[in-house]
Amino acid sequence: MKRSLTSRSLSAVGLIGVAALTVGLAGCAGGGGDAADDDTIRVAYQKTASFTAMDELMKKAKDEYEAANEGKTVELVPIEAEQDQYFTKLALMNGSPDTAPDVIYEDTFQIRSDAAAGYLQPIDDFIADWDGWSLYDDGAKQAGLGDDGKTYGISLGTDTRGLYFNKDIFEAAGLPTDWAPTSWDDILEAARTIKASNPDVIPFNVYASKSLGEATSMQGFEMLLYGTGDELMDTDTNKWVTGSQGFRDALGLYQTLAEEGLGPDPAEALDAGWGSKVSTELLPQGKLAIALDGSWLPSNWISGDNEWPEWQETMGFAAMPTKDAGGFTSMSGGWTLAMGANASDPQAAFDFIAQALTPENALMYHQEAGQIAVRSDVASSQEYLDFNPSFEFFSSLVPYTHFRPATPDYSQISSNIPVATEAVFTGQATPEDAQAQYDSALVGIVGEENTQAG
């Protein structure tokens, strides 16, 4: 998770590290750290080995915008980092008007905290005159709201999460290639069978490390927690939950995977690049049997550097079951394009966002990033529906999905979840001790009066 610069303190990074990182970002920007003038639009976004769709979209939008706006320059700042490190580097950029972006690739769960911190500016006046806004569904519009009810970001799509499994590995282990687990026990039994059949294959991956930040919190732990019937925050009372059995059960699954050797070697899984390795190496190379992961993974395999022509025949998909055969569960999030509070020319910044989200560009991004469509023109496009055979399955998980608490303090609270999962997965703490540490941190953040026993 990103660290505090108000609520996220730069002291956690260290003055020397901050200075070095800021210099590095300025070098990436190509502007030497000087504030952009009214004719330059600085755009910051994430790029990784397994996520290049945003880079492709921004380059295309830059060419189109500059061609249509003589004298204007778009300065692209691709931040090559996994999610947690991306948030940290973006916070550093936002810490100074000299490096702050005009347009920001912003996770929906960060909108409220970043708007409250003064890093973003509302765009209501701009979307009121933009024809594209009417194409977005109500859920996508809600995702871009701040605590003040104003709109700060325009959705790039949404996602769900489920189980990927290698049908070749399953068949070799005597497991069904139309596997459809209905409980955690079904998953564990399959993982045990695979371990006995092929000890060189990782049976099951669930993200557990602090280095992966929100990927661990959301794609790992919360996928388990919400499958127990418990939740991080009670939506009826708006109080954060402490001491719940579901929290311990979720950590207990991490403990089982570690103790029985059903997951990856912690020495590898704690690396910040583990998420990219799962999607670009382990799954395509047949070294991982089951992965709990996001709907965007097949977009890596359709074309580009990580193309994997055999994925449709090799990979199976299954909904993530709840703990005790009570149904299914998923988590949904998504990213937006937002406008920085220090944008030197807000109208130009919004015009660039609108250019990036033309129907043609929106369709391209939804396809290449593996996004579930949140705008009517893309959702109804046969080209979109035909592009990726996995879209139908992952869209079918929407009825089971959950969303992270939309509060400004969620990011700070969420950063304590990977502390708990990593401690359990590496054998440094029991589920009970890890939960107690999380509960203590939670109370310290929100106050005891804003918590309730689970």
In eight-state DSSP terms, residue 126 is: H
- Decide if 251 is inside a domain: yes
CATH of the domain at 350: 3.40.190.10
Taking the alpha carbons at both ends of the chain, their separation in whole angstroms is 25
Please count the other Cβ atoms lying within 10 Å of the Cβ belonging to residue 199: 9
**Cα–Cα separations (whole angstroms), residue 441 to 127, 253, 426, 435, 454:** 39, 22, 20, 10, 16
Q: How far apart are CA 288 and CA 127, in angstroms?
A: 44
**Same domain, yes or no: 74 and 150:** yes
User: pLDDT value at position 21?
Assistant: 41
The domain in which residue 361 lies consists of 10-159+333-380
- Decide if 385 is inside a domain: no
Q: Map tokens 């009825």 to a residue.
A: 399
**Same domain, yes or no: 189 and 268:** yes
pLDDT in tens, the chain (454 residues): 222 323 323 233 332 233 334 434 444 443 334 445 789 999 999 998 888 999 999 999 999 999 999 999 999 999 998 887 898 999 999 999 999 999 999 999 899 989 999 999 999 999 999 999 999 999 899 899 999 999 999 999 999 999 999 999 999 999 999 999 999 999 999 999 999 999 999 999 999 999 999 999 999 999 999 999 999 999 899 999 999 999 999 999 999 999 999 999 999 999 999 999 999 999 999 999 999 999 999 998 998 889 999 999 999 999 999 999 889 999 999 999 999 999 999 999 999 999 999 999 999 999 999 999 999 999 999 999 899 999 999 999 999 999 999 888 998 999 999 999 999 999 999 999 999 999 999 999 999 999 999 9
- Decide if 225 is inside a domain: yes
Residue 214, classified by CB atoms within 10 Å of its CB into exposed (0-12), middle (13-18) or buried (19+), is buried
Please count the other Cβ atoms lying within 10 Å of the Cβ belonging to residue 325: 12
Q: How far apart are CA 258 and CA 254, in angstroms?
A: 6
- Residue type at 70 in one-letter notation: E
**Same domain, yes or no: 97 and 181:** no
**Same domain, yes or no: 123 and 183:** no
Residue 142, classified by CB atoms within 10 Å of its CB into exposed (0-12), middle (13-18) or buried (19+), is middle
User: pLDDT value at position 5?
Assistant: 28
User: pLDDT value at position 20?
Assistant: 37
Q: How far apart are CA 427 and CA 262, in angstroms?
A: 14
User: Are 225 and 250 a contacting pair, CB within 8 Å?
Assistant: yes
Q: Which residues contact 16 (CB under 8 A, 6 or more apart)?
A: none
Q: How far apart are CA 340 and CA 104, in angstroms?
A: 6
